[in-house]
Amino acid sequence: MSDPRTTPSPDLTKPGGTGAGAVPAAGAAGVEEFGYRQELKRSLTFTDLLVYGLVFMVPIAPFGIFGSVFQGSGGMIALAYAIGGLAMAFTAASYSQMSRAFPMAGSVYTYAGRGIAQPVGFMAGWMILLDYVLVPALLYLIAAVAMNSIVTSIPVWVWLIGFVVLNTVVNYFGIEFTARVNKIMLVAELIVLAVFLVIGVIALATGEGRGFDFTPIYNSDTFSLELVFGAVSIAVLSFLGFDGISTLAEENRDSARSIGKAMIAALALAGTLFIVQTWVAALLVPDPDTLIAEGDAAGTAFYDAAEVAGGAWLGTLTAVATAVAWGFANSLVAQAATSRLLFAMARDRQLPAFLRQVHPTRRVPVNATLLVAVVSLVLGLYMESREDGITLLSTLVNFGALSAFLLLHVSVVWHYVGRLGSRNYWLHLAVPVIGFAILAYVVYNAQVAAQELGFVWLVVGLVLMGVLIATGRKPEIRAEEDL
């Protein structure tokens, strides 16, 4: 590896440069091509990336928000997940293209910053932070509430602290250890899901529930685009996570194409599982009209459906599985992804320098990992004291992610068509434009609270960027030798 102190600054206008228009040389996938040192450990295979994405999305994610999406969609919950999966498919395709162009940690912050301009990248990173920084706290809180409902003698805040400490210790031991834990958790989640599906289908076949019909995918009595897309804005919470794979680009030991392939594969597998499990559960809901009219304040709609299929033991099993999946497995990878985003932004001087510190032997961004733990703990404890804590966090997480995805689609068109003159109009024009349109409509139909709070976060980001510029820290991509 070249010494970064003696390597000449790359030409910003040619492949392998460090400017916004830099494109890696053919077959290259190293950060050295962009003027950085390789600091994180490259040890992850395609399978590791795929498992990471599936665990981040959680194959049983609909268990926890089933009632909310069922009510919001007028009972057409499978349709809401199908549309959500389609919208995310276009987004995954755009992620795939940008991850090949810029195989570095930082996710949409890196892609928008190098694909368009660094100030745009800063704002994309700022908006995705709303997702990445808050989602661990949301997951810990949901899991702690679920465990408290099972073991009421232990308060929510104790469960929350336990989950935070456990995940932080696992992530501290390095990405390889995290990857091994991910595989174990994924197998456990898939077993629980398989048990529910088998028992649920048998129950429907023997006369339990409403029997087989297509109302979870289409109901002429309640269907409207506004209704369904409003539910999609909630359902996409289950899909968030496939994009987290892009934050591990500097720990991927295969070609840069593995990042995009893993994202698309994870999304396809998870989307299929979401549609199937929500379809079966929707047909087992004891009183669908009441659920649509009154909602699911207790968050137990899925567990009630599972109880109809197999009895109280299946309802308890699915509740425990939700708590462990959200509070440990999902939170574990969420913390890892968030720390890599903070690391990437700090490396470019957009966040405090201490966040770019990498552990000398474990090769993980240790300070960023610890900061995510502290923020998650403080936010989780605060939101636990609010009646609307879970709802508030959910709306903020979704709005931040979808807003950043909009900038991702723009960066594909700007970089490939505008800058490089690509004639692959399907991947570099049609796909990002269609993806942008679908997400824009979802954001438009999102809850007003999400729009208002998201706008406040956007304004804060613009002010912060103004402060950075005014103090001589204008957002710009910097090579390692400039740091």
pLDDT tens-digit readout, 36-87: 666 666 777 888 888 878 877 889 988 888 888 898 888 899 998 998 888 8
Higher model confidence: residue 197 or residue 337? 197
Would you state the pLDDT for residue 280? 96
The mean per-residue pLDDT over the stretch 364-369 comes to 85
| Residue type for position 239 | F
Would you state the pLDDT for residue 221? 81
Are 263 and 242 in contact by the 8 Å Cβ rule? The answer is yes
Domain residue extents for the chain: 39-333+378-470
Task: Report the CATH superfamily, name and number, of domain 39-333+378-470.
Answer: Amino acid/polyamine transporter I (1.20.1740.10)
The mean per-residue pLDDT over the stretch 433-445 comes to 85
Q: Which segment of 35-49, 362-376, 414-428 scores lowest on mean pLDDT? A: 35-49
Q: What is the reported pTM? A: 0.75
Higher model confidence: residue 447 or residue 396? 396
Q: Is the pLDDT of residue 27 over 80?
A: no
Q: Which segment of 12-16, 75-79, 187-191 scores lowest on mean pLDDT? A: 12-16
Would you state the pLDDT for residue 424? 94
Residues 233 and 235: their CA atoms lie apart, in Å, by 6
Label residue 11 by pLDDT band (50, 70, 90).
Answer: very low
- Apex CA 267: angle with CA 262 and CA 268, to 5°? 100
Would you state the pLDDT for residue 448? 63
Residues 117 and 110: their CA atoms lie apart, in Å, by 10
Residues 388 and 401: their CA atoms lie apart, in Å, by 20
Structure tokens belonging to residue 345: 């932004």
Structure tokens belonging to residue 222: 């309640």
Are 281 and 67 in contact by the 8 Å Cβ rule? The answer is no
Phi-psi domain of 320 (left: phi exceeds 0; alpha: psi -120 through 50; beta: other): alpha
* pLDDT tens track for 112-140: 888 998 888 888 888 888 877 788 888 88
Residues 233 and 88: their CA atoms lie apart, in Å, by 12
Q: Residue 104 CA to chain centroid, in angstroms?
A: 17
| Residue type for position 466 | G
Label residue 337 by pLDDT band (50, 70, 90).
Answer: confident
- Apex CA 82: angle with CA 403 and CA 233, to 5°? 30
The mean per-residue pLDDT over the stretch 193-222 comes to 91
Please report where in the chains the tokens 């399907």 appear, as a residue. Answer: 426
